[in-house]
Structure 1
Amino acid sequence: MTYTDFSASLTQHTAPEGLSPLLRALWHAGRDEWETAHDIAQQHEGDPLFDWLHALLHRQEGDTSNAAYWYRRAGRPVFVGSSRAEWEALTRTQLPS
């Protein structure tokens, strides 16, 4: 699956089959299904990519201090740009163009 295919799937009612847990969480985050994405991120705490996702999710909800904590856990600087641009950047780490 490419990034373009993945993005297009956000209009569907269910996530595509066979997604990794990170891509499944990103799919829900991309649909503004915050709680589902957050639940998945919490199940994988300690994995730097999930910790980055966790930071993004708290940033989306406006909790910048909690987001800063998760950026530190992920070993990443606070993202500069929109949360949508950050979602795309993280998603692109998992999918080819």
Structure 2
Amino acid sequence: MSNEYLKLAIKHAQAGDWDLAHKIVQVRDDSIACWIHAVLHKIEGDESNSRYWYASSKNQYEDFTDSGEELNAISQQLERND
């Protein structure tokens, strides 16, 4: 699955479609997909599940207080990786 799917997951998350964003990322296990997955659970308010996915992503729960800014940072990283 290409990074385009991860970019699509971010767009859906930013638009408030948590379920579709979650469906996209839950089939991947690379670090960026895990990072997006972590942010989605942070948005949902499920801190323990979010922290699990942060550990898999090698990022930290506390790195961002604003989930929108964090999704933008992930999007920028995906652009650099293309």
TM-score normalised per structure 1: 0.74
- 1:61 is aligned to 44
The yes-or-no answer on 1:40 pairing with 2:24 is yes
Structure 2 Cα separation of the partners of residues 34 and 94 of structure 1: 19
Give the aligned length: 77
Taking the aligned partners of 2:55 and 2:6, their CA distance within structure 1 comes to 19
CA deviation profile, 1:21-79 (whole Å, cap 9, x unmatched) = 111111111101000000001111x2000000000000001111110000001111113
Q: Which residue of 1 aligns with 2:35?
A: 52
Q: Which has more helix, going by share of residues?
A: 2
Residue 92 in structure 1 maps to residue 72 in structure 2:
no
| Matching of residue 22 in structure 1 with residue 16 in structure 2 | no
Q: Could you tell me which residue of structure 2 aligns to residue 81 of structure 1?
A: 65
The 3-state SS of whatever aligns with 2:78 is coil
- Shift of residue 80 of structure 1? 2.5
Q: Which has the larger radius of gyration?
A: 1
Q: CA RMSD in A?
A: 1.4
The ranges of structure 1 where at least 4 consecutive aligned residues each deviate by more than 4 angstroms after the TM superposition are none
TM-score (norm 2): 0.86
Cα distance in structure 2, aligned partners of 1:80 and 1:33: 21
Mark the runs of 5 or more structure 2 residues left unpaired by the alignment: none
